[in-house]
Amino acid sequence: MKQILNYINGELILPVKRKLMDNENPATGEIYSVCPDSTEEDIQLAVDSAKDAFPKWSELSVESRTKYLWNIADSLEKQIHELAEAETRDTGKPINLSKTVDIPRAAANFRFFAGAALNFSSESHQTGKTIFNYTLRQPLGLVGCISPWNLPIYLFTWKIAPALAVGNCVIGKPSELTPMTAFLLSKICMESGLPAGVLNIVHGRGDKVGSALVNHSDVSAISFTGGTETGRSIAKSVAGKFKKVSLEMGGKNPAIVYPDCNYKKTLSSLLKSSFTNQGQICLCSSRLLIHKSIYDKFKSDFINKVKKLSVGDPLKIESNMGALISEDHLNKVLSYIESAKEDGGKILIGGNPLKLDGRCSNGWFISPTIIDGLKNDCRVNQEEIFGPVVTLIPFSSEEEAIGIANDSQYGLSATIWTQDIEKAHRAAERLDAGIIWINCWLVRDLRTPFGGTKSSGVGREGGSEALQFFTEPKNVCVKIN
């Protein structure tokens, strides 16, 4: 049984109360490690150690901090095979995805934000001939970074790298469902010589340690990625304390497919945008809006493509899809499929849990599912399912497509598929979402603002947005004579 430990003050330690909880491999149902079930005492230890480390870390030159982050990136790259295997065991995601997306991106996050901090500049304003303003961008102090289970090390490092790069000390809280790669990252930080207390990682449940972190008076800011209801409760908790908060939450992302799209490429891209990571990516397309003139053809071609996806042992390179994160989550996804049936939806393919043979016979698998015949106002089209379930919705005009796409509490991302660039730009302007992709999906340039509108998010991550979030601007006004 592997033992995951908290990383506090540069050391790997058990939680104060010594309570541990089981950690399951979703593809086998096997409990293969134990993880700290930490409490607010552990958060206090992490806060104390971060407070001790902060003055020195924030006073280091940005070049010195950058070197540490680059060393961590190098180690992540060197250990890609071990880390990818650990991520796949912890999440049930296909190994190919862990190797080509999750781990390379974690390394890229450290490398990118180290470079971004080197290039980070602040404003200055001249007022008349004798007055000059310049803006200092100072670290906030201690910040809390809370991340979800779907892209564990990818999203954890997306937060902690910019926070560290600009001189903050961090208390990180990874998801209790997927603690393993954050634990391995703490070992890498120790090997890389990161000074004690600069980064602390406390494992445990959200309602215990997550909320203790959010409510701690010495923590100046919270960067959170996760579900909308959790985000709402964090927003309420911090409101009275006037903490800075960045919330990246759920989505119900539309894809608008026009008849003049590049049909073959669109079909293949939608397969990926619908089912990558078993549909457990906040940016996955879940409502496919298809123009009436190509609806029937698209439906049958899409079903044929989905039939070829192989759901299987995530450690096998040939598996396109692995397991869902837990039995609870599988049941949640299945309950949405039942709700679709009650609302008159037709299951075109999938809709069932899958029993695999051998090693994975007790895992949480489901076949990729396509549903049509549902109105946009039903639960399945309004609530985030976060699984491999998409609906097809026909539309006949641009106006109608934009109306359906925007008829949602969410506003994270949207994709537009057409070769008419004017039409695409018009739609991009009118869609209520923070991220629009035209003729592509999940193409990420780390310099761009990342985040959602409405119930999908508050604030933006990425590039200078992240560096601004993790710093406090202070204007200094100088009068000469």
Q: Among all residues, which ones are annotated catalytic?
A: 248, 282
Q: Which residues face 200 on adjacent strands?
A: 171
Please count the other Cβ atoms lying within 10 Å of the Cβ belonging to residue 192: 18
311 sits in the region (left: phi over 0; alpha: psi -120 to 50; else beta) called beta
What are the structure tokens assigned to 97, written together? 């995805």
Residue 451 C-beta: closest distance to ligand NAD, Å: 7
249 binds ligand NAD (CB under 6 A): yes
Residue 248 C-beta: closest distance to ligand NAD, Å: 3
248 binds ligand NAD (CB under 6 A): yes
What is the bridge-based pairing of β-strands 6-8 and 131-139? unpaired
CB 432, CB 453: distance < 8 Å: yes
312 binds ligand NAD (CB under 6 A): no
26 binds ligand NAD (CB under 6 A): no
328 binds ligand NAD (CB under 6 A): no
- Residue for token pair 């990161």: 194
What is the bridge-based pairing of β-strands 413-417 and 435-438? parallel
154 binds ligand NAD (CB under 6 A): no
Contact pick of 15, 210, 312, 463 for ligand NAD (by CB under 6 A): 210
Helices 152-165 and 103-118: angle between axes, nearest 10 degrees = 10
Contact pick of 36, 152, 206, 345 for ligand NAD (by CB under 6 A): 206
Nearest CA to 105 among 466, 465, 445, 448? 445
User: Which stretches of 21-101 are DSSP H helices?
Assistant: 40-59, 62-78, 80-91, 95-97
Residue 213 C-beta: closest distance to ligand NAD, Å: 7
CB 272, CB 376: distance < 8 Å: no
Q: Which is nearer to ligand NAD, 89 or 460 (CB)?
A: 460
Residue 280 C-beta: closest distance to ligand NAD, Å: 8
| 367 burial type by CB count under 10 A (0-12 exposed, 13-18 middle, 19+ buried) | middle
Q: Which is nearer to ligand NAD, 135 or 233 (CB)?
A: 233
348 binds ligand NAD (CB under 6 A): no
Rounded to whole angstroms, the Cα distance separating 299 from 372 reads 9
Q: Which is nearer to ligand NAD, 125 or 236 (CB)?
A: 236
Contact pick of 15, 26, 148, 152 for ligand NAD (by CB under 6 A): 148
Residue 209 C-beta: closest distance to ligand NAD, Å: 8
Residue 105 C-beta: closest distance to ligand NAD, Å: 13
Nearest residue to ligand NAD, by Cβ distance, number only: 206
412 binds ligand NAD (CB under 6 A): yes
Nearest CA to 216 among 248, 197, 243, 247? 243
Contact pick of 207, 342, 377, 399 for ligand NAD (by CB under 6 A): 207
225 binds ligand NAD (CB under 6 A): yes
CB 349, CB 311: distance < 8 Å: no
Dihedral angle, C-alpha 74, 77, 79, 81, nearest 10 °? 180
84 binds ligand NAD (CB under 6 A): no
Residue 364 C-beta: closest distance to ligand NAD, Å: 14
Q: Which is nearer to ligand NAD, 230 or 273 (CB)?
A: 230
Contact pick of 214, 288, 414, 424 for ligand NAD (by CB under 6 A): 214
**Site for ligand NAD, residues 176 to 195, rule: CB under 6 A:** 176
Nearest CA to 170 among 321, 332, 58? 58
> Distance between alpha carbon 308 and the CA centroid of its chain, in Å?
28
Provide the binding-site residues for ligand NAD, judged by CB under 6 A: 146-150, 155, 173, 175-176, 206-207, 210-211, 214, 225-227, 230, 233-234, 248-251, 282, 384, 386, 412, 452, 457
